[in-house]
């Protein structure tokens, strides 16, 4: 499943534990790994692009089977998440501010792209969780875990903004917790889709069409 794959490779920062990146995960942004002057820029940029392509493809596939407006909007949010993730890579940080004092923390294009990435993933959490509660199709995994992951991911994301206001330090820990939560969210969604696909032949998970509506009996 493409979304499950994304949930795993989205946390490519774990490779920094075995690669000599020179960055301290506690005090650096994950996006510093593919800053243009970093030794593994190409590797991490390619992995990020693969993650963006897989989440977009998976969301497009799911969108075609959306059962209502809430879920449809949720899948569109994941598509936007993938698109903005591409922009995040195409407009990388010029350098790594955690190791280079003269490096600017705020790169307007990269910071904007990152903000849009966050907005899109949070929108998907809200919309798909609402869909799991309001729409006819039962999605127990999302209904159960969405309300847990969303606030935790939001708090961890807010905890990463210290360097933007001149207060760096330990933001790397918060961001990596956030990335793990996003990965967990994508795995939950992938599991929900897999369960839905298995049930589809029996219960019909696609949006009911006119032919599936009960006919009113007529009396001659």
User: What pLDDT is stored for residue 26 in this prediction?
Assistant: 96
User: What pLDDT is stored for residue 173 in this prediction?
Assistant: 97
User: What pLDDT is stored for residue 65 in this prediction?
Assistant: 86
186 token code pair: 């994508």
User: What pLDDT is stored for residue 200 in this prediction?
Assistant: 59
CB atoms under 10 Å from CB of 164, counted, come to 12
User: What pLDDT is stored for residue 138 in this prediction?
Assistant: 67
pTM score, whole prediction = 0.87
Ordered by start, the domain boundaries in the chain are 2-196
SS (H, E, C) 151-204: HHHHHHHHCCCHHHHCCCCCHHHHHHHHHHHHHHHHHHHHHHHHHHHHHHHHHC
SS (H, E, C) 50-87: HHHHHHHHHHHHHHCCCCCHHHHHHHHHHHHHHHHHHH
User: What pLDDT is stored for residue 205 in this prediction?
Assistant: 39
Q: What is the pLDDT along the chain (220 residues), one digit of tens a residue?
A: 789 999 999 999 999 999 999 999 999 999 999 999 999 999 999 999 999 999 999 999 999 988 899 999 999 999 999 999 999 999 999 999 999 989 998 999 999 999 999 999 999 999 999 999 998 766 899 999 999 999 999 999 999 999 888 888 999 999 999 999 999 999 999 999 888 767 655 443 344 444 334 444 444 4
The CA angle 100-101-102, to the nearest 5 degrees, is 95
Q: How far apart are CA 27 and CA 30, in angstroms?
A: 10
Distinct helix (H) and strand (E) counts, the chain: 6, 0
**Of residues 160, 190, 185, the one with CA closest to residue 27:** 160
User: What pLDDT is stored for residue 20 in this prediction?
Assistant: 98
């Amino acid at each position: 499943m493409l979304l499950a794959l994304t949930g795993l490779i989205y946390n490519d920062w774990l490779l920094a534990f075995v690669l000599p990146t020179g960055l301290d995960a506690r005090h650096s942004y994950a996006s510093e790994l593919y800053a243009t002057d970093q030794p593994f820029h190409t590797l991490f940029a390619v992995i990020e692009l693969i993650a963006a392509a897989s989440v977009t493809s998976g969301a497009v596939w799911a969108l075609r089977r959306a059962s209502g407006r809430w879920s449809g909007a949720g899948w569109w949010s994941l598509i936007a998440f993938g698109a903005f993730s591409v922009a995040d890579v195409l407009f990388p940080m010029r350098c790594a501010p955690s190791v280079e004092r003269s490096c600017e923390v705020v790169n307007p294009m990269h910071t904007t792209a990152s903000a849009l990435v966050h907005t899109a993933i949070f929108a998907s959490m809200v919309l798909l969780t609402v869909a799991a509660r309001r729409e006819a199709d039962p999605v127990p995994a999302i209904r159960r875990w969405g309300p847990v992951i969303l606030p935790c991911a939001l708090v961890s994301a807010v905890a990463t903004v210290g360097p933007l206001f001149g207060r760096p330090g330990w933001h790397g820990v918060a961001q990596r917790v956030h990335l793990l939560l996003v990965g967990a969210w994508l795995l939950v969604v992938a599991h929900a889709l897999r369960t839905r696909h298995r049930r589809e032949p029996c219960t019909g998970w696609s949006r009911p069409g006119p032919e599936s509506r009960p006919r009113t009996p007529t009396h001659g």
